[in-house]
Amino acid sequence: MTFRHLSTLLVALLCTVASAAERPNILFILIDDMGWMDIACQGNEHVHTPHVNRLASEGIRFTDAYAAAPVCSPTRAAIVTGLAPARLHITNHLPHQDRFTPEDSKLLPAPMKDHLDLDYTTIAERLKADGGYATAFIGKWHLYCNKDHQFAPQHQGYDINIGGCSFGGPRTFFDPYRIDFLQDRKEGEYLPDRLADETIQFIRQQQKKDEPFFVSLFNYTVH
């Protein structure tokens, strides 16, 4: 999906939500670093993904699109804001250290920031302000590098943050995870299962309330 098309898609989504008589609940699932042929409906004959196949057959597939970036941090920044990675000054994974470009090179990479600025309006902030949505972020954020968490999801429009921190990957995929904003629960529990459970719990809690919800489930796998 091109940068312009991504921005247009997000704007269209927000306008639809604002004008609809009933505000739809939104569940956004992002799989980390998945190849375009990693699932069966894309032609993979070795990995069985029946539930994803059903989503593809009964929903909408974007078969002629471009990703905003080939790696995790700029992709997430583009999805969250609807802006191109170059505009956000996040064009590689964080923290990025260029160890290969000679100092006297005629072509130098553009300077990169080590976080997603709070000045940018996120989709969560728009949904909260314009639609009265309850918002939650669950999983991998990876849009800052420091440990004071001032750029964490709870400061970017999300009411609840579970597991979203500076980590590009977990220390382990089994409890105890040692991930910021994710409490240990059951020794040996698999991280994707835990994040799915947290998402289900949030949705069930919101069903008891008279307000729509927007939950982003950004998995640490299959990174």
* Alpha-carbon torsion angle 93, 96, 98, 100, nearest 10: -50
* Active site annotation includes 46: no
List 93, 115, 142, 165, catalytic entry = 142
* Active site annotation includes 142: yes
3-class DSSP state of 80: helix
Contact by Cβ (8 Å): 112, 90: yes
List 51, 72, 89, 93, catalytic entry = 72
CB atoms within 10 A of CB 196: 16
**CA gap 160, 215 in Å, rounded:** 9
Burial of 66 (0-12, 13-18, 19+ CB in 10 A): exposed
The residues annotated as belonging to the active site are 72, 142
